[in-house]
Amino acid sequence: MTLAGQASGAGRVSAERERCVGAGQCVLAAPAVFDQDEDDGLVHVLVESPSESQADAVRDAVRACPSGALTLRQPAA
């Protein structure tokens, strides 16, 4: 899990599929931003730059990821 800077705003989210274990915690926390691939169950980022209204859910998803496959980078101030 990486939360680079924790300013307000959702920022930009990315996923390292090779680290993903398919637990689906990201999808539970932020279903509008994350999904799981139908073939292998690994994370798929639906929205790389989530809206401000999705910021809390995205941060929850990053924190909940058991493999640390998600990264959230905050926009430069």
Measured at the CA of 36, the angle between CA 35 and CA 40, to 5 degrees, comes to: 165
pTM: 0.83
pLDDT in tens, 6-23: 444 579 999 999 999 999
What is the per-residue pLDDT for 74? 82
pLDDT in tens, 12-70: 999 999 999 999 999 999 999 999 999 999 999 999 999 999 999 999 999 999 999 99
Q: Contact 18/8 with Cβ under 8 angstroms?
A: no
What is the per-residue pLDDT for 9? 56
